[in-house]
Amino acid sequence: MVQPSDAGFGVMLPSFDPFRRGRTPVVEGAVLAEELGFDSGWVGDHLSFHPPLLDALTALTAAAVRTERLVLGTGVLLLPMRNAVWTAKQLASIDALAPGRLLFGVGVGGENPAEFEAAGVSTARRGARLDEGLDIVTALLRGEAVDHPGPLLPTRSPALEPAPSAMPPLVVGGRSEAALRRAARRGDGWLGVWMSAGRVAGVRARLDELAAEYARPSPTPLLMVFVHVTDGPGGLETGRAEVAGFVNGQYGLPVERLERWVLVGDTDHVAKGLDELVAAGVEGFVLMPAASDPLEQFRRLARVRERMTSSL
């Protein structure tokens, strides 16, 4: 059965279109990632965001049927604005198509209130909605019927078939104290983003403390890292320009808000940056190409992995 540590050297599959090229090559990306030897492929989740995007679970289904080995993860599913029963059905279906390859990542979301409104859900108490939604989804994925009283998500459901032979490992995303506590209380893994090596080391220590408080194993620390490997025409200048375009297209922000966390440089520079994060306690990566051609970045990142002194 897959574990969060099996995320290893993973990539975010291109289900978003921040440069508005009219193309989201999720399937091509998943096939290429597997061919290049990456360990995992992930999809992000929004109903509506700054760029055009595909539905996360639909995209992951497409990746599932075209790959044989690649671990598949939701990084992260915004469960508070989704129907928990339908979500369980979709996750069980992906597991049936790719048995034992699913990592179930969740988070609270809320950075785009308009999508919550469109889904008919308030952003208020989304942490509590996530906890109740997890109770429902995990019971259904265990093959159990559900009679959940609420208070936020009163739900009755028969057992859903087929159910996974084993519960997909739970990965909890988020940097807040509440997210870390949720990861320690019920997660098998934790997924962070926008962090320096020093911050990662502090979070890992905090996760260990909280896990001991709950008498549970400490969740495996994973990190989403935004990267642009500049080997090729244009070099560093072109790379920085593409990072700026990516940040604006993906988040509607000036690059200055996020650039300190983006690894931009040649193969050796990016490899060194990832090695530093491994030394700080990261046990798996979800690498997001901040580039107009994410598949070319996959090829360059495969060379980065060869240069790294650390192994995952």
What pLDDT does residue 42 have?
98
Reported as a single tens digit per residue, the pLDDT across 202-242 is: 999 999 999 999 999 999 999 999 999 999 777 899 999 99
> What is the pLDDT, as a whole number, of residue 206?
98
The pLDDT of residue 310: 83
Percentage of the chain modeled with pLDDT above 70: 100
What mean pLDDT is predicted for residues 8-34? Answer: 98
Task: Give the rounded percent of residues in the chain with a pLDDT score beyond 90.
Answer: 97
The whole-number pLDDT of residue 17 equals 98
User: How confident is the model at residue 110, as a pLDDT?
Assistant: 92
Averaged pLDDT score across all residues of the chain? 97
Each residue of 46-62: pLDDT tens digit? 999 999 999 999 999 99
Within a domain: residue 255? yes
- Does some domain include residue 251? yes
- 241 found inside a domain: yes
pLDDT for the residue numbered 90: 98
In a domain, 250, yes or no: yes
The mean pLDDT of 240-261, rounded to a whole number, is 96
| 140 within domain boundaries | yes
Counting the structural domains of the chain, the total is 1
3-state SS, residue 124: coil
Please check the confidence at residue 300 and state whether its pLDDT lies above 90.
Answer: yes
pLDDT tens figures, 110-165: 999 999 999 999 999 999 999 999 999 999 999 999 999 999 999 999 999 999 99
Look at residue 171 and tell me if it is in a domain: yes
What is the pLDDT at residue 201?
Answer: 98
The CATH number linked to 146 is 3.20.20.30
Give the per-residue pLDDT at 172. Answer: 98
Confirm whether 312 is domain-assigned.
Answer: no
Prediction pTM value: 0.97
Q: Could you tell me if residue 194 is inside a domain?
A: yes
Strand residues in the chain grouped as ranges (E): 9-12, 40-43, 71-74, 102-106, 146-148, 155-157, 170-173, 189-193, 220-229, 263-265, 284-289
Burial of 68 (0-12, 13-18, 19+ CB in 10 A): exposed
- Cα gap 218→140, rounded to integer Å: 25
* Domain membership of residue 8 as a residue range: 4-307
For residue 15, the SS3 value is: coil
Q: What is the mean pLDDT of residues 263-277?
A: 97
